[in-house]
Every structure is written in C-alpha cells, then in structure tokens.
Amino acid sequence: MRLIVLDNPVQVAEWAAKYVMKRINDFKPGPHKYFVLGLPTGGTPLGMYKKLIEFVKDGKLSFEYVKTFNMDEYVNLDRKHPESYHYYMWNNFFKHIDIKPENVHILDGNAADLTTECENYERKILEAGGVELFIGGIGPDGHIAFNEPGSSLVSRTRLKTLAQDTLEANARFFDNDINKVPKQALTVGVATVMEAKEVLILITGASKAFALYKAVEEGVNHMWTVSAFQQHPNTFMICDEDATLELRVKTVKYFKGLTKLHNSLIGQ
C-alpha cells in the first residue's frame, strides 16, 4: 500500500485525475479493449471529476472506450432525487464527457428483485474483464462504499442496511429529517473492490483523520473496512495534510519522503 500525502484537497483532486488519465491513456483502450473503471460518489471525488471533465474538453482524454461501475446506490430513492447516485454521476460527470450510455453501470436501487440486481452486477464486472482501477472514498467511520463497520471483508455486492451514524450524517441532505433518509443501499462488497487490479482511495479533511490512522497504522479490522486494503497488492491512499493529523510523524515523514517517486507515477 502506498500513502501519498499532498498539501490540500485541490492537489488530491488533481493528482487523482492525472493518475486516472495516465492509466487510461497508457492502457490504450479501443473497441476491443475497454478500460474498466470503478467510481465513487460523495464530496471528496468531486474535484477529481471536474479535472477529468477538463481533460476531456481539452482533448487529452476520452471515455469512448471506458466502462464504468459505480460503487453503490440507495434503495427506493427516485433516480431523479438530487441525493441519488444516478443524479450525482449524471450531473457531475457523465453528461460532461464522451462516455457511451451502454458502458455505464450503476446499481439500480429500485429494481424489483434486489438480490438478482446485485448478482447481475458482479456478473457484469466479470464479463467486462474485472475492474482495472477502482477509485473510492471513505467515511469518517472508515467505511468503503456502503460497507459499514462490521461488514465482512470478503463480502460481495449486496443489499446493506445503513448504520445509525450514516443515517444521522445523511439527514442534512434530506430536509434534516432522518425519516426521509433511505435506510438501505446496494453496494459492492469489500471483496469486489479487492479484486480490482488497482485501487485508489481519496481521503481529505480532518474529519477523516482517525479513519486514515485506523486504515494505515492499525491492523486489518472489519470495524474499519478500508483497512482491508493493506492487503491489496496495488492500493494508493491519496490524502491531504489535514487527513494525516492522527498519524504518527514517522509514518507521514516516511511516505512524504517518497514524493518524488509518487509524482513519477503521474509523469511529473
């Protein structure tokens, strides 16, 4: 696992976007060779999406031969609701780029049969050849996708009931009324993400500092599901200074010492 420490969220967004661009372009995708990308939602990756849109507009990057799989979606929330992840992905990313609609995959939380929907999702990932690069964010409790604390670290895509903390945190997006917050979500499992060839986890802000400490300095623990990625062969955690507040100086210094090496990964 690599930890990349940058100054601020703007740099995190830019670094991540440059990395995604380099990986896709180096892959040289084409009609018979699609690049498969896993995507998150939330506040942290927003800046990365903005940068990627810029790259597409400038002609430096194309999503014509990219397939995407999103991590999660609420259950029983109208797709047009501003908090739905369909809405998020469409408005913040897909409508601005040249991706083809048939190459986009987001779990359907309104499907008649949610179990089948999850099984099909896993199958579609397999059929696409597996995820080349999965990008994720984490919650303050260290959850990745909607794999809440206590989730199995070998979980697959499934229906998940949300933790009380998550409901309370989300109430602000639903008129501050916890009863309006969807109680369930469909989410890829920890194992689903673990199978990706590469994983990029974006972590910014002091509120995520404790989770980052748990993920990096403590052992693998299903109460902090992101910690599972310590055992992934190719994971980058990209964080800003604020997110390192709970880490030991030694840890931060070690990884900052590798800055030059890390920057070579994005061709700088």
Partner 1 sequence: MTLKQFYNCRILRNHEIIDDHLWVRGGKIIDPEGVFFDEKVPADIRIDCHGLIIAPGFIDLQINGGYGVDFSYDIDNIENAVGIVAKKLIENGVTSFCPTVVTSPIPVYHSILPKIKRTAGGLHGATVLGVHVEGPFINLEKKGAHPPHCIREFSKGFQHVELAYGSLDNIRIVTLAPELINSAEIITELVKRNIIVSLGHSTANLIEGEEGCNHGATMITHLFNAMLGFHHRDPGLIGLLTSEKIAQPIYYGLISDGIHTHPSAVRMAYKANPDGVVLVTDAISALGLADGRYHLGQLDIEVKDNKAKIAGTDTLCGSADNLNRCVQKFQKFTKCSKVFALEAASYHPAKVLGIEKTKGTLDFGADADFIMLNDDLHVQSTWIAGEKVYPNFG
Give contact residues for partner 1 (rule: CB under 8 A): 79-80, 86-87, 90, 94-96, 100-102, 104, 106
Task: Check if 165 is active-site.
Answer: no
The torsion angles phi and psi of 107, rounded to 5 degrees, stand at: -55, 140
Residues 14, 73, 132, 141: which is the catalytic one?
A: 141
Determine the Cα–Cα distance for residues 90 and 85; give it in Å rounded to an integer. Answer: 8
Which alpha helices (H) appear in the chain, and where do they start and end? 9-27, 46-57, 85-92, 114-127, 164-170, 190-194, 209-216, 249-256, 259-264
Shortest separation between residue 184's beta carbon and partner 1, angstroms: 21
Find, among 257, 205, 251, 256, the residue nearest to 230 by Cα: 251
Shortest separation between residue 104's beta carbon and partner 1, angstroms: 8
| Token couple for 40 | 């998150």
Of 59 and 219, CB closest to partner 1:
59
Find, among 126, 92, 86, 82, the residue nearest to 106 by Cα: 86
Task: Check if 98 is active-site.
Answer: no
DSSP letters for 107-153? --TT-S-HHHHHHHHHHHHHHTTS-SEEEEEB-TT--BTTB-TT--T
Of 94 and 213, CB closest to partner 1:
94
Of 11 and 92, CB closest to partner 1:
92
Task: Check if 105 is active-site.
Answer: no
DSSP H/E element including 105: strand 104-105
Shortest separation between residue 255's beta carbon and partner 1, angstroms: 36
Shortest separation between residue 30's beta carbon and partner 1, angstroms: 18
Of 86 and 158, CB closest to partner 1:
86
Shortest separation between residue 106's beta carbon and partner 1, angstroms: 8
> DSSP class of residue 7?
S
> DSSP class of residue 221?
B
Shortest separation between residue 109's beta carbon and partner 1, angstroms: 13
Determine the Cα–Cα distance for residues 159 and 141; give it in Å rounded to an integer. Answer: 19
Residues 14, 72, 195, 240: which is the catalytic one?
A: 72
Residues 105, 143, 232, 262: which is the catalytic one?
A: 143
Task: Check if 141 is active-site.
Answer: yes
Of 79 and 222, CB closest to partner 1:
79
Determine the Cα–Cα distance for residues 37 and 20; give it in Å rounded to an integer. Answer: 9
Residues annotated catalytic, as ranges: 72, 141, 143, 148
